[in-house]
Structure 1
């Protein structure tokens, strides 16, 4: 039998977006501002929840945990991307790449389930108001959060182990700005059918279930509002539900296209654009769509500022 010698890859090159220096400076400025705004917005939500007793409800408990996931999610890719935009040597170590992928998959999977938990919470609050406190108990909410993190941990460790057990011998250039499954599979110099099947199975477990639960929850919310609420309340509720569903659709849609399409259809620019949607754009929109426009959050912030001034 013919034996092949595989050279062990010690580092990967993250190709990124452009080799033109001026373009890299523009992208660095844009992404740095976006990253900082997203980070500050999510940190603000966590701090406001922590120091505002009137926000200690299931809804804001989920939002605070969701913001924590988003902070970890952003921090796994953006700092390295920003460094590489200003660096001539756009590399990441083998184990650094594995760690980045593991954290990204963990947080992304946990986010899928957290979005569904948040939608389920709103469904019970609006459609089952009399039973809401019995359904959404503190223990139940904690179990939802633990379940989301547990599912994410399983996915992150499993998929990262499968990908980084592959031999890489053709090239070490990752055609993206972070380490992800599809571009890394394209670098493997062995058959990856098993990895593709496992990625498909994992994606079908992680995305469709929470996505369907989210859609059904908001669908029932809209139906209940149409039947039982006034025109003014309907308009406000429709605006809220539409914004929530739009952000959830951005995340679920882009990740589904990224991981469910066949390997032969992978494209350079498509991958980067889709990655930008669920890595950069969705985390930026989430705090504004879910929390910062909320009157309860605004009032809690005013009260907190009032307490600080009195002290």
Structure 2
């Protein structure tokens, strides 16, 4: 652990070299994949041409292809990955369980329920994203309300979330049967998780949310969150207001997960996998929020690029790739937890 102090401002910054190296590595990987994605497609461009177009030195055609057609999708992928990873890291830290994520706790299913309600009602794409955000937020409020009893206990929250997810899965299946054929086909693609056709209007709400909630979680609540992982009594003894902190961070995580679902659909397993990968890369205690966000951004951008390139002439929804990889990781995680005697 290294500490850098700025006496004039009264600030101090503590970091671990391994965590710093991991963050830089994830950033470079995300940037590399982003450049490759911007240069791939029916009109291929070299990395040099992509960089010239990004800095305003390319031809009008290159500028249009890179900045207008491809860049919004890449930026949306990076932001969705970062938002899901931050939400997952907050959930896992608050419930002190590696299985704590929007996928498991029912918030993803709630966002899907809101979106499907809009589809059945005949709403457009913008209304669908709004329905997803509303569904996720309402589900988060319902789960927290049902789990509340003299405070929010992590185990109780997980159990209520799993039950809510099961109920909403059935509701979502029923809503699909009530939609028109074309609307149902559009909804199924969205439910898989897809970044096709994403524009700046999809990226901006996530950018604003991350700009506000990211620093709040990392710098405003990071130390308190680390203390909370030691137990409620220990954290309270060290001056942490446990329940207000837990509610504020849960609300932030629900908003981030809901906005991510509204932008790209319920992309599975990124929120579960990215924080665990960050812990294994850094080998550091605590939630590792910054590295988790960078890992999630790199993970989803890589998955989206792979989804476009795995099969020639056919693009997969990014949720298919994250589902396959994340499902395999979940099996491995459950096996390791069983060997450790925790389940």
Q: TM-score, length-normalised on structure 1?
A: 0.31
State which structure, 1 or 2, has the greater radius of gyration over its C-alpha atoms: 1
Q: TM-score, length-normalised on structure 2?
A: 0.29
